[in-house]
Structure 1
Amino acid sequence: MAERGLDATDRRIIAALQVEGRLTIQELAERCGLSPSPCLRRMRALEAAGIIKGYAAVIDQARVGLPVSVFASVKLERQREEALDRFEATIARWPEVVDCYLMTGQRDYLLRIVVRDIEAYERFLKEKLTRLEGVASIESSFALGQIKRSAALPIA
């Protein structure tokens, strides 16, 4: 099911689930103007197509003791496929890295790292990121505050 294959009903289902992923099928069907059986079929089809990738709770990072977000721009020594694959495989195993993007421009990757405090970031940097083979340079920026965070895509 390609993006252009989404009809208005699929978009309503996606929009409703992005706001509240814990809706019952009955509630979702009511919000989307369907009966429960067709709604469930459509939702399962969206899941099977990989459009709906999963469901998760949104956690307040400060309230769980992880108030610091650091954005680290990483430049690799080489941009060969095997170097990129090795970097990505390692980063994927580190729980502190909550987002990682392959970038264009001066830097190769942009990471969002979530930690308890500046000292925890320093340990992460010294014990993990700077020891990673192939890293040429790292630039870190500390977020002063979060203005907006959303997992909802502008599907409408």
Structure 2
Amino acid sequence: MSNRRAMLTMTGLHRALLRRTGGRLGRQLGGMPVIELTTTGRSSGQPRTAILTVPHREPGPHGERLIVIASRGGDDLQPAWYLNLVAEPAVQVARVGEHPRPYRARTAEPEERARLWPLAVAAYRGYAEYQRKTAREIPVVILEPLEP
């Protein structure tokens, strides 16, 4: 069963909070930093922006790699942003109050997921519940900054 309406409502409220407070409120959620991920719509070709939490960060060759989880609250459907980045991995990432930077997105390989999933669950236990709610394996996505 899809929870699309609830997810869209929560995202809209979060965007409004960020906009109204100039990013003073809402830049973190549950202790995790919040980012705006802009993908290219796989059907429309238009920019699509999602607000996501980052449960884990780690050093990369060109800056901090960001780990995000394509959970959609445990829905059986993949998030649209995830399907978009699978179709076109060139994305933009903006931390609240910063200009977007180019990143390359990819789904973690099985051995990477085995290492990263527990770190994400440690940051937010809800991910484990989301995984129990759905038959699909929830993807772990690695966002790697491109060279400056």
Q: Which is richer in strand?
A: 2
TM-score scaled by length of structure 1 = 0.27
Q: Which is richer in helix?
A: 1
